[in-house]
Amino acid sequence: MKLNKYQNMLLGIAIGDAFGASYEMQPWPKISKQLHLSSYHGLNNRKQGTYTDDTQMSIAVAELLISDKEFTKENLAEKFVECYKRDPHQGYAKGFQNFLESVSSGEEFLEKINSNSIRNGAAMRSVPLGVLSNLEDIIKYAKINASITHNTPKGITSSVCVATVSHYVFHKLGEYKDIFDFCIDSCQGLDNESISFFERLKNRGCLEPLLLFGENHADFGVPCDGMRTAGAVLYLVSKSKGNLEKSLTKSILLGGDTDSTASIVCGIIAINEGLNSLPSFLFDKLENDKYGRDYLISLGQQLSAK
Ligand SMILES: [Mg+2]
């Protein structure tokens, strides 16, 4: 099947998420021993090929971009509630899942949400924003996206960073290895600590766990933290040379929040490289209920038509 860039992106997000979810928060020796690109079965008992919050919320963002509605906090919150309620998925943080269960509209969501998180929930759903052609719009939308749930300098910066990595790749603004400068420029003025972290990562030739994961997580992997996740994405995309299979494997080997890292990275690399380099089970066994594989393909088609 010939897929366009939008479809590749959405399927990349879901495949990275569904595969990465089986290795989430597991000790490194276990991951490296059991990481086989041969089935969706990993180290936990997830149903094969099911995606998590990363994909579901990215679908919500994509659906709002396709709709004729304005990209506002209200409309996006409404989409988050709608997408969860019509097809509840596992993988959300427990507290946030309980919150989604408890609200019935976007208005109620915004009224009751505690939006001061610095975790990676805004970053993980920002990849679809990269398709927009105007960088100012992307930064504006990425800020709106973060402000609903992660209205902190770090939460906002992580959302802008991921959206601009996606934009850079989608519109082929340069080579993968040169991704850092574009994103650092796009994040100027948002959060000094994040920017100096991205700068330090850029200047390192090889992986330094202590730097990438932070002192408290050096033995653990990518924490569920917006700044660290954005840094891991910059690092992996900059080193990827467009190799999707290797990028998926490396995303998992970093450990920690593997589904978010793999979802973002695979969504971005798949845009131009497609999915053909991946073992076919990743596509064939991806969930395909009402909002699964075929739905993502149709959503990508609609996004490209828009
Ligand atoms: Mg997840």
CA of 105 to the centre of ligand 1 (A): 22
- Asked if residues 64 and 83 have their Cβ atoms less than 8 Å apart, the reply is no
- Residue 181 confidence (pLDDT): 97
CA of 242 to the centre of ligand 1 (A): 23
pLDDT digits (tens, 9 = 90+) for 120-144: 999 999 999 999 999 999 999 999 9
- CA–CA distance, 77 with 72 (Å, rounded to integer): 8
CA of 54 to the centre of ligand 1 (A): 5
- CA–CA distance, 222 with 254 (Å, rounded to integer): 7
- Asked if residues 270 and 8 have their Cβ atoms less than 8 Å apart, the reply is yes
The model's pTM: 0.97
Q: What are phi and psi of 193, to 5 degrees?
A: -65, -40
pLDDT digits (tens, 9 = 90+) for 284-304: 999 999 999 999 999 999 999
- Residue 219 confidence (pLDDT): 83
- Residue 44 confidence (pLDDT): 80
CA of 119 to the centre of ligand 1 (A): 12
CA of 224 to the centre of ligand 1 (A): 10
**Homologous superfamily assigned to 5-305:** ADP-ribosylation/Crystallin J1 (1.10.4080.10)
- Asked if residues 159 and 143 have their Cβ atoms less than 8 Å apart, the reply is yes
- Residue 31 confidence (pLDDT): 92
- Residue 135 confidence (pLDDT): 97
- Which of 192, 183, 172, 277 lies closest to 235 in space, CA to CA? 183
Q: Could you say which residues of the chain have pLDDT below 50? A: none
CA of 66 to the centre of ligand 1 (A): 23
**Angle value at C-alpha 144, between 302 and 11, nearest 5 degrees:** 35
Map tokens 């495949």 to a residue: 15
- Residue 284 confidence (pLDDT): 97
Q: Encoding tokens for residue 233?
A: 């994405």
- Residue 1 confidence (pLDDT): 80
pLDDT digits (tens, 9 = 90+) for 77-87: 999 999 999 99
CA of 205 to the centre of ligand 1 (A): 29
